Structure 1
Amino acid sequence: MSAIDIEKQAPATRQIVVDTLREQVSIWLFVFKTMLAFFLTGWIAMRLSLPAPSTAMLTTIIVANRQSGMVLAKSFYRAIGTLGGAVVAFLIVAAFPQQRDLFLVALSLWLGICSGGATLYRNFKSYAFVLGGYTAAIIALPVIDNPPGVFDSATARISEVLLGLLVSGVINDTVFPSRMRDVLRRTAREQFAHFVGFVRASTGGTIARSTMERAHLRFVRDAVTLEDLRSSVIFEDAEARARSGHLQEFNQRFMAASTSFQSLHHLINRLKRAHRDTTGEALIALYAPLGAALDAPIEAGAAARVLLPRLIGARDEMAAKAPLLREGMTDTQDVRDFDTGAALLRRFTDELYAYVDTAATLQAPRIIAGSAERVRFARGNDYAGAILATFRTTITMLALGVFWILSAWPMGSSAMLLATIFAGLFAAAPNPTRVTGQVMFGYLIGMIIGFVCEFAVLTQVDGYPLMVASIAPFLMIGLVMMTSATLGSIGLGYSMGFAYILAIKNPMVYDPVHFINDAIAQVVGLSAAAIAFVFVPTVIGSRWLRQRQLARLRGQVALAAEAPLPGLRHRFESINHDLVSQVVSQTEPGSADSRALLAWALAVHETGRALIELRHDLDRGTAPGGVRGYIDTALASLARFYEAPDAAKYLLARDAVATAIAAVSEKDASHGLLEHLHLIRMALLDGESVLAAYMPSAPLAQEISNAP
């Protein structure tokens, strides 16, 4: 090997070593901070004479995360869920103080609702629902035979849970904090740099459809990831909260610009495939100044403001260049295609400028409060999965409740508690049966290790410091596993099982019989949750749900065609991105389902945005008399086709759009309506799109040449 090759390998080797060391430091910092929170919570709980310090200590395990912002977000929603669950527990006990059957029915229904809510919300809001059910159970179940004790039970449980949340938040925010805001800033910079760089590199010609599909997938992931991070960071940092509105605006403008960008390149690709080279080359030439304007340092961290005057110059140059390029065209169809592309390019340039301007505002040292446009990232939730989760958990809790009543099992409440936690915690997992099985395996190991620790080690020591020294090595094993991508679920189960079964008290009680009975009850609860997922399987990741999500995605065109216009553009973009992100995360990359999803997503994005822009122009009163009816018919036909696509509806939609174009042309309307309609028409005639399956056999070039 030559000296040059050795020199090239040395930096790569050093980088691998640096990355490995950084990862190991991150892992052990997480272990250290979690253990510090765990034992400090236990010490405070004992000093305050709380009845069950183990509940507070277990809370620190459940909210543990390597990012401090994640811990704070989880803790915030857990606190809301804890208080809400306590209120419901009071109501249930008050309503059925002496009727155990109705008491358990009401509690099971509440636990089912909380499980459904945890499924519906895929971010940290799900923790509020999980804790809402869990808290109601741990407050109400112990007083099922002593209703007057509900207040004392609620006070103790709320105090223990909130203590664990408070200590975890303080430790993670003050001891070697790993700031989510840094991750958010890096993610936003990378999103900006990647998109601007991709646009700059794409100004030289056409983009292969496969490349555009991959780019669209990257755009979707970037948008959803940024929103998820933003919603977590606001709990961690005051500056992030102040910039939250601008981050939402930044993300919405990114989604709008990326959709227009894709529509523009689809149009150029169609013209090239139809051998309309004159128009295609003219649009590429018109596009060129934009590429030159973006040819500036745009790596992550560079100031976005340097691009703003360059974009203004490019926009002026394109405005002056467009008439000259248009004059060289003699064919009416070429002129129409060029006008459509030029209008789309103007829209994209304006949206790109707005996106860059928002990025520059975010990079400013100070932001004026209230200066951002009020937007919201709407989610594409499917309520069928939530209803099924509600049914599953309710049935599981009712079954355990019936068994408890009929058997008079003293540990029945413990079994129900564990089933409550895991039924809600893993309801939203793509494969909850597998995850619950892994957690159960870790939980069993944790309980076995807990038995060894409690009766072979803790019985030999005295005092809190020695107790910490005795427990720490065993707990450390589970926490390290929690940081592993492959062993994370097992590590979580191990840590929870170990912490829960120890049942730390002040003073500590060593009762092997109770320990074994409690362990059996916890295994029964876990098994009930796992069995419920087998007999009532989750719809997350199922083909049935993917079909529903795909139908919901296609239905976005109907939303664009018929929903009220205020806020529609933001709602349309964010729901589309969220739906695509959900299905992609639940399908195998490169599979037929994944390819079909991306193909429909591109068609929906392009057509839906064109419909929204058409309706905005129509709402401004630019339509001449007599044509609005034709346009409304075209909108309705497109909506019905995308809702339930078939060949007959396709022909109706295609012909309705053609009729609307002819009607508008006869009335000599403003170019805006024609351009939107023509873009929709060309999208319908794209032989490489997912709509090709519904087209007649005529070649695409002939279809376009015959278009009015």
Structure 2
Amino acid sequence: MSTVPLPSAAPRREALWQFLREEGDAWLFIARTVLSYFIALWLAMRLQLPSPNTAAMTTIIVMHRQSGMVLAKSFYRVFGTLAGAAAALVIVGAFPQQRELFLGAMALWIGLCAGGATLYRNFKSYAFVLAGYTAAIIALPVIDAPGGVFESAMYRITELMLGLLVSAVVNDVVFPVRVRDTLRQTARQQYRHFIGFMRGSTGGAIARADMEKAHLRFVRDAVTLEDLRSSVIFEDPQARSRSAHMELANQRFMAVSTSFQSLHHLLNRLQRNGGQAAAAAVIALYRPLGEALGDAVPSRALLRRLRTARHEMPAQAAAAVATLDAARAEDFEVGAGLVQRFARELELYVISQLDLGGERIAGDLVERARFLRGNDFAGAALATVRTVATMALLAVFWIGTAWPMGANAMLLATIFSGLFATSPGPVRVTLKVAFGYLGGMVAGFLCVFFVLTRIDGFPLLVASLLPFFMVGAYLFTRPALSLFGLGCCMGLAYILAITNPMVFNPVHFINDGIAQILGLGAVVLMFGLVPPAIGSAWLRRRQMAALRGQVALAAAAPLPGLRYRFESVNRDLFQQIVTQTVAGSDESRQLLSWALAVHETGRAIIELRHDHRDQPLPPKLEAAADAAVTALGRFFQQPSSPAYAAALAAVDAALACARTAPGESVALPFVREHLHLIRLALVDDQSVMARYMPAPVAATETVPHAS
């Protein structure tokens, strides 16, 4: 008789614990959200502000499950609020009696703010969204009474700031969920994954598919870490004081990952093209690093191992090169240079991790590093045009019909135009939020005319509104329903229009609801007629051109800070494009191919320029090297077979000149190594370069890719 083992209860307990933990986090978020809303509402009423609902609505717009994110939103929201208030005063002062000019200037300002929001993919975009929204909420209600604009500005600023202050305090005090914890965990995971990946690659070559996956992971880790770092500085003084160290550690991670990829690309090429002896010698030189990484040890012990291995490398390289013929010796020297560069950068990366842990390493210079973004101003211009057209459409309708609720329609269109200008599918996203918004409006109608009319006093007001807000906030915590939940909370908070005392006017309520629906409809219409650049094939082509153009940047930009600029902008551009491409598609493969080629070639150019910046070269060689660098930049900017042939010829000429150059310049061997590395990348018929090679060479590869 056989027995069937019963399933273990441990997985069920773990699944139950995970569910309860997620539900607990969700309900804590709901508690913080409703608490912020009602405290802001109560304070606004106690201070007798004319529109308590503005303060309460602010807490809904900035709600987030992590307290640091709320603080980041609030910080930028303050700047946006002040800028919007200043713009409102200027516009009203410039066109106090000219409605058409007034609305035209307002539409232009709101459009510019929406365009500015598309240039950022973090909470800085909120400053632009709020600059447009604040200007509208201050100026539009006083369009017929411009003398009251200053009073309107003071009240709106006070209400907005009150909502921001309440959200910040509640989210920082009531069961806060810290971004710093996520940041530290992400930084540790980035370090452990990279060290572990290198530990598993000590055999030399890495399969192309594994390198592509690694590149995707490296890019995602670097961009995610920067996004978290830019938010955590608002919630934690210690994190703020260590922000520069974290940014430097991230930059060193990007640099060492690029060197790591270049080294293994070179090993793959040598092993494919008859350079097994040189590849074996490079792998032997690389092996001590693998041994240093061979088992998990504390970072300080790992640092000692790496330093020992790096200090032994020059002697090992000199002994190995003596065993190779001239052609393979040159291949080996290129590989040896990459191994030593990789070892030096890996050591710096480990030092950065120790520094983040509070262990200061003597001799380490804390450089100033910045993570720069790859922004596309044409896409921002398109968002500006679309938003201006939306506002102009509503303004014309308002003027033509003299509808008293036209300002409300424009206000809501301002919010949605800015919030979803950066979405790759704005029609779909806006429709989801709009359906939630309509649900919130229906709930608001029931709440106002069937509940609030029967109660008196603030405690009963809270008890009456609480169930409605809890439903929307809970839906916001569900990934599949988050947009619907956001719309539900916004629609409910906006349509309630809580005042002190409360006014129950069904006609005004219905007109206000129609105005909001009209504003939402105008936004959806214009998103459909003028789709955003984000996610479009047009923008992806522009971003790909910008990514390839990074090689031209490496060839011509000033050297101070160029390494950091090159590494960060590359990854930001790649992350933008890869999120809009289908994984495994031809487009995705082409993107990976170009990204790896840009990383390797651009970094080699930067190192070449650095190595001969302070060491004079023979004039003929310097001219040839400059010509090669310029030709490479032109090819990557506008790739074609003639441009490829010109770049290869220029590199060959510079390399020939370097091999025969007289003199004892310290930089000469390094320049020769960089040029040889660039040439090996150019003639790699397993890379994206294959499509630009002569037909007999390129025909061996049907789908170009990077090795």
1:693 aligned partner, one-letter code: R
The corresponding residue for 1:273 is 272
On the 8 A contact 1:685/1:700 being kept in 2, the answer is no
Deviation of 1:620 (Å)? 1.9
Aligned counterparts of 1:111 and 1:306: Cα–Cα separation in 2: 56
Aligned counterparts of 1:82 and 1:294: Cα–Cα separation in 2: 51
The corresponding residue for 1:15 is 14
Mapping 1:155-194, distance limit 5 Å:
155-194=154-193
**Are 1:391 and 2:385 matched, yes or no?**
yes
Deviation of 1:461 (Å)? 1.2
Q: Structure 1's 13 and 367: CA in aligned 2 closer, same or farther, altered over 3 A?
A: farther
The corresponding residue for 1:706 is none
The corresponding residue for 2:475 is 481
Deviation of 1:332 (Å)? 1.4
Q: Structure 1's 319 and 390: CA in aligned 2 closer, same or farther, altered over 3 A?
A: same
The corresponding residue for 1:674 is 672
The corresponding residue for 2:704 is none
1:93-115 deviation per Cα after TM superposition (whole angstroms, max 9, x unaligned) = 11111111111111110000000
The corresponding residue for 1:507 is 501
Q: Structure 1's 679 and 4: CA in aligned 2 closer, same or farther, altered over 3 A?
A: farther
On the 8 A contact 1:247/1:362 being kept in 2, the answer is yes
**Are 1:323 and 2:318 matched, yes or no?**
yes
Aligned counterparts of 2:251 and 2:638: Cα–Cα separation in 1: 28
The corresponding residue for 2:703 is none
3-state SS of the aligned residue for 2:41? Answer: helix
Identity %: 59
1:504 aligned partner, one-letter code: I
Q: Structure 1's 531 and 659: CA in aligned 2 closer, same or farther, altered over 3 A?
A: same
After superposition, the CA RMSD in angstroms is: 1.8
Deviation of 1:371 (Å)? 6.4
Aligned counterparts of 1:474 and 1:590: Cα–Cα separation in 2: 44
3-state SS of the aligned residue for 2:423? Answer: coil
The corresponding residue for 1:218 is 217
Deviation of 1:313 (Å)? 1.1
Deviation of 1:405 (Å)? 0.8
On the 8 A contact 1:243/1:367 being kept in 2, the answer is no
On the 8 A contact 2:255/2:345 being kept in 1, the answer is yes
The corresponding residue for 1:648 is 642
3-state SS of the aligned residue for 1:396? Answer: helix
3-state SS of the aligned residue for 1:50? Answer: coil
**Are 1:134 and 2:145 matched, yes or no?**
no
Deviation of 1:317 (Å)? 3.0
The corresponding residue for 2:705 is none
TM-score when scaled to structure 1?
0.96
1:379 aligned partner, one-letter code: R
**Are 1:639 and 2:633 matched, yes or no?**
yes
Aligned counterparts of 1:2 and 1:139: Cα–Cα separation in 2: 79
Aligned counterparts of 2:228 and 2:449: Cα–Cα separation in 1: 44
On the 8 A contact 1:419/1:528 being kept in 2, the answer is yes
1:536-590 deviation per Cα after TM superposition (whole angstroms, max 9, x unaligned) = 1111000010000000000000000111111111100000000001011122222
**Are 1:125 and 2:131 matched, yes or no?**
no
The corresponding residue for 1:692 is 690
1:54-82 deviation per Cα after TM superposition (whole angstroms, max 9, x unaligned) = 11111111100000000000000011100
Deviation of 1:459 (Å)? 1.1
Aligned counterparts of 1:392 and 1:17: Cα–Cα separation in 2: 48
2:177 aligned partner, one-letter code: S
Aligned counterparts of 2:577 and 2:371: Cα–Cα separation in 1: 18
The corresponding residue for 2:586 is 592
On the 8 A contact 2:690/2:697 being kept in 1, the answer is no
Aligned counterparts of 1:6 and 1:696: Cα–Cα separation in 2: 65
Q: Structure 1's 270 and 111: CA in aligned 2 closer, same or farther, altered over 3 A?
A: same
**Are 1:547 and 2:541 matched, yes or no?**
yes
The corresponding residue for 1:408 is 402
Q: Structure 1's 15 and 365: CA in aligned 2 closer, same or farther, altered over 3 A?
A: farther
On the 8 A contact 2:692/2:698 being kept in 1, the answer is no
Aligned counterparts of 1:34 and 1:131: Cα–Cα separation in 2: 20
On the 8 A contact 1:623/1:673 being kept in 2, the answer is no
The corresponding residue for 1:425 is 419
Aligned counterparts of 1:5 and 1:662: Cα–Cα separation in 2: 72
3-state SS of the aligned residue for 2:531? Answer: coil
Aligned counterparts of 1:132 and 1:408: Cα–Cα separation in 2: 26
Aligned counterparts of 1:395 and 1:591: Cα–Cα separation in 2: 36
On the 8 A contact 2:354/2:360 being kept in 1, the answer is no
Q: Structure 1's 400 and 698: CA in aligned 2 closer, same or farther, altered over 3 A?
A: same
The corresponding residue for 2:367 is 373
The corresponding residue for 1:574 is 568
Aligned counterparts of 2:507 and 2:699: Cα–Cα separation in 1: 81
The corresponding residue for 1:67 is 66
Aligned length, in residue pairs: 695
Which deviates further from its counterpart, 348-357 or 621-630? 621-630
The corresponding residue for 1:705 is none
The corresponding residue for 2:338 is 344
The corresponding residue for 1:445 is 439
The corresponding residue for 1:81 is 80
2:674 aligned partner, one-letter code: H
Q: Structure 1's 621 and 371: CA in aligned 2 closer, same or farther, altered over 3 A?
A: closer
Aligned counterparts of 2:365 and 2:601: Cα–Cα separation in 1: 31
1:552 aligned partner, one-letter code: A
Mapping 1:463-474, distance limit 5 Å:
463-474=457-468
Aligned counterparts of 1:641 and 1:25: Cα–Cα separation in 2: 55
1:431 aligned partner, one-letter code: G
2:96 aligned partner, one-letter code: P
Deviation of 1:316 (Å)? 2.2
Residue from 547, 555, 565 that aligns with 1:561: 555
Deviation of 1:698 (Å)? 5.2
Aligned counterparts of 2:12 and 2:328: Cα–Cα separation in 1: 56
3-state SS of the aligned residue for 1:205? Answer: coil
Aligned counterparts of 2:190 and 2:115: Cα–Cα separation in 1: 33
TM-score when scaled to structure 2?
0.96
1:83 aligned partner, one-letter code: L
Aligned counterparts of 1:304 and 1:13: Cα–Cα separation in 2: 37
1:563 aligned partner, one-letter code: A
2:212 aligned partner, one-letter code: E
1:308 aligned partner, one-letter code: L
Q: Where in structure 2 are there 5+ consecutive unaligned residues?
A: 701-707
The corresponding residue for 1:258 is 257
On the 8 A contact 2:691/2:698 being kept in 1, the answer is no
On the 8 A contact 1:686/1:700 being kept in 2, the answer is no
Q: Structure 1's 14 and 340: CA in aligned 2 closer, same or farther, altered over 3 A?
A: same
Aligned counterparts of 2:226 and 2:623: Cα–Cα separation in 1: 39
On the 8 A contact 1:118/1:130 being kept in 2, the answer is yes
Q: Structure 1's 390 and 462: CA in aligned 2 closer, same or farther, altered over 3 A?
A: same
Aligned counterparts of 1:50 and 1:674: Cα–Cα separation in 2: 73
Aligned counterparts of 1:324 and 1:14: Cα–Cα separation in 2: 60
On the 8 A contact 1:184/1:230 being kept in 2, the answer is yes
On the 8 A contact 2:289/2:306 being kept in 1, the answer is yes
1:462-496 deviation per Cα after TM superposition (whole angstroms, max 9, x unaligned) = 11111111111111111111112111111111110
**Are 1:611 and 2:605 matched, yes or no?**
yes
On the 8 A contact 1:289/1:317 being kept in 2, the answer is no
Q: Structure 1's 701 and 134: CA in aligned 2 closer, same or farther, altered over 3 A?
A: closer
On the 8 A contact 1:561/1:608 being kept in 2, the answer is yes
On the 8 A contact 2:690/2:698 being kept in 1, the answer is no
3-state SS of the aligned residue for 1:159? Answer: helix
Q: Structure 1's 599 and 6: CA in aligned 2 closer, same or farther, altered over 3 A?
A: farther
On the 8 A contact 1:112/1:392 being kept in 2, the answer is yes
Aligned counterparts of 1:701 and 1:436: Cα–Cα separation in 2: 47
1:590-632 deviation per Cα after TM superposition (whole angstroms, max 9, x unaligned) = 2222111111000000000000000111212242232111111
3-state SS of the aligned residue for 1:626? Answer: helix
3-state SS of the aligned residue for 2:479? Answer: coil
